[in-house]
Amino acid sequence: MSIGPITVKSEKPKVIGIAADHAGYELKEYLVHELRKAGAEVIDLGASQLMPDDDYPDFVIPLARAVSAGTVDRGIAICGSGVGVTVAANKVPGVRACLTHDPFSARQGVEDDDLNVICLGGLVIGHAIAWELVKTFLGARFSGEERHRRRLAKVAELEVQPQRGIIGATPIRASVPQQQDIDPESRDTQDPGPLRLFLVRHGETAWSLTGQYTGSTDIALTAHGEQEARNVGERLRDVAFTQVLASPLIRARRTCELAVPIPAFEIEPDLIEWDNGTYEGRTPTEILAERPEWNHFRDGSPHGETPESVAARADRLIERLRTLEGNIALFSHGHFLRVLAARWIGESVTDAQHLLLDTAALSILCYEHGDPDMPAIELWNSGTQHSAKVEEQVHERSRTEPIARG
């Protein structure tokens, strides 16, 4: 991957994660633009909009965990001075973050100390200098010399607390009444059983209510959406989860918080919604009036994420999930979860258009007979909204059509 005049020396292109609070938001937006213009793959963990009262740990901790878990190769963390994000990032085992103001430190920090997160002060340095530091940081690589490995090993000994990685194996019990359509297997934490993925789309938002495409816009749940989240939580009450993962966007995180009321869920960057580019906030009717043959799952959106990129992201997540066992909860978004389900059973992104998904709907992916070579969909789009639609249709038909009995 080329970043301006600097070539990152790596066997594969680096995936770069970036996060900032309100004080670093403007610099983050600039760096994201420059990185993508240079051909880099960037995962933006927020903030997705300028919110003066936000807190830097809400963004830098998911970034640090993504770096530690290998979801991203290098991280860029920004706050006003760069100090806060440095302190927070270094609380995550496996992260080596440093506040940097000069190219020498940006380069040597990687070469000698295997620096994997660069921290910047959005109110301290200018955009041009920050871009030079980022290019230097990404262009450097760890020397691997014995003396540096020895020193890093001593630092690693201090990380005595095991980390729950983004995809880990720490047992989590969701104490949330069991519904008839969910039949959890053994809840013995010593034998979690075959992998089952519980997919939950976020609850209602103002834009889902109006049918507007919502990708990276960090929109909150409506009051009804919060109740939907609580309702799906009732359905999950007695399910024992080995892992609970949520998209970094607030509508998915809030649904997770209300549905699984325990603090131990992890942010998974790959669960973020499909980036809609210039079609963000528009309705299908508006878009089809301009492009009658347009298909979101086939064509994507101008300046947005391509279907191929979304498929690659889903495949990457599935590859990691398939190493796990037991019940895994995934709180995410309509378009991405539809792609995830299609890729789980070996179908294309275009085929995901046939898998409709309501807000706060519950779906389950599993293996037929527990055989990893036979991925299957056990349950799809199950929820109170879906049930109400079916019931309404049944009642409507009963008024106009004879009911077949037998």
What pLDDT is attached to residue 122? 95
- In this structure, the answer to whether residues 89 and 123 fall within a common structural domain is yes
Range 126-139 average pLDDT? 96
- In this structure, the answer to whether residues 324 and 189 fall within a common structural domain is yes
Q: Out of 156, 190, 208, pick the residue that ends a domain.
A: 156
- In this structure, the answer to whether residues 315 and 367 fall within a common structural domain is yes
In sequence order, what DSSP letters do the residues of 365-389 get, joined into one string? EEEGGG-TTSEEEEEEEESHHHHHH
- In this structure, the answer to whether residues 149 and 179 fall within a common structural domain is no
Q: Is 378 a catalytic residue?
A: no
Q: Please state, rounded to an integer, the average pLDDT across all residues of the chain.
A: 84
Helices (H), 216-348: 223-235, 250-259, 284-290, 296-299, 307-321, 334-344
Range 195-205 average pLDDT? 96
Instruction: Kindly indicate the confidence band of residue 168, based on its pLDDT and cuts at 50, 70 and 90.
Output: very low
CATH value at residue 316: 3.40.50.1240
Given the residues 202, 296, 333, 335, the one annotated as active site:
202
Given the residues 273, 296, 335, 386, the one annotated as active site:
273
Q: How is residue 24 annotated by DSSP?
A: G
**What is the percent of the chain where pLDDT is above 90?**
68
- In this structure, the answer to whether residues 146 and 179 fall within a common structural domain is no
What pLDDT is attached to residue 175? 33
Does 402 fall in a domain?
no
Kindly report, residue by residue over 33-58, the tens digit of the pLDDT: 999 999 999 999 989 899 999 999 99
> How many helical (H) and strand (E) elements, i.e. helices and strands, does the chain have?
14, 14
Whole-model pTM: value is 0.56
Q: Residue 229 is part of which domain span? A: 172-391
AA identity, residue 364: I
What pLDDT is attached to residue 264? 67
Q: In what order do the strands lie in the sheet with 15-20?
A: 41-44, 15-20, 74-79, 117-121, 97-99
Q: How is residue 262 annotated by DSSP?
A: S
Does 355 fall in a domain?
yes
CB 395 within 8 A of CB 238: no
Does 398 fall in a domain?
no
Range 247-273 average pLDDT? 87
Does 181 fall in a domain?
yes
Kindly report, residue by residue over 262-300, the tens digit of the pLDDT: 656 888 989 999 999 999 999 999 999 999 999 999 999
What pLDDT is attached to residue 187? 43
Q: Out of 156, 183, 214, pick the residue that ends a domain.
A: 156
What pLDDT is attached to residue 13? 56
- In this structure, the answer to whether residues 106 and 74 fall within a common structural domain is yes
AA identity, residue 282: R
Q: Which of 51-65, 78-92, 290-304, 382-396 has the lowest mean pLDDT?
A: 382-396
Domain count, the chain: 2
Beta strands 172-173; 196-201: pairing state = unpaired
- The C-alpha atoms of residue 218 and residue 386 are separated, in whole angstroms, by 25
Does 384 fall in a domain?
yes
Radius of gyration for the alpha carbons in the chain, expressed in angstroms and rounded: 23
Instruction: Kindly indicate the confidence band of residue 190, based on its pLDDT and cuts at 50, 70 and 90.
Output: low
Output the six-digit token pair for 286: 């508006």
CATH value at residue 44: 3.40.1400.10
Q: How is residue 349 annotated by DSSP?
A: T
Q: Residue 327: CB partners within 8 Å, gap ≥ 6?
A: 184, 192, 193, 196, 198, 239, 240, 241, 242
- In this structure, the answer to whether residues 93 and 139 fall within a common structural domain is yes
Among candidate residues 296, 156, 307, the one with its CA nearest the CA of residue 214: 296
**What is the percent of the chain where pLDDT is above 70?**
82
Helices 223-235/250-259 angle, 10° precision? 50
10 Å CB burial of residue 127 (0-12, 13-18, 19+) is: middle
Kindly report, residue by residue over 328-357, the tens digit of the pLDDT: 999 999 999 999 999 999 999 999 999 999
- In this structure, the answer to whether residues 96 and 221 fall within a common structural domain is no
Tell me phi and psi for residue 48, to 5 degrees. -85, -10
Does 256 fall in a domain?
yes
- In this structure, the answer to whether residues 150 and 182 fall within a common structural domain is no
- In this structure, the answer to whether residues 106 and 220 fall within a common structural domain is no
More confident call, 28 vs 68: 28
Instruction: Kindly indicate the confidence band of residue 153, based on its pLDDT and cuts at 50, 70 and 90.
Output: confident
- In this structure, the answer to whether residues 102 and 188 fall within a common structural domain is no
What pLDDT is attached to residue 404? 33
More confident call, 202 vs 401: 202
- In this structure, the answer to whether residues 70 and 179 fall within a common structural domain is no
Q: Is 159 a catalytic residue?
A: no
| Residue 81 confidence (pLDDT) above 60 | yes
Instruction: Kindly indicate the confidence band of residue 229, based on its pLDDT and cuts at 50, 70 and 90.
Output: very high
Tell me phi and psi for residue 234, to 5 degrees. -60, -35
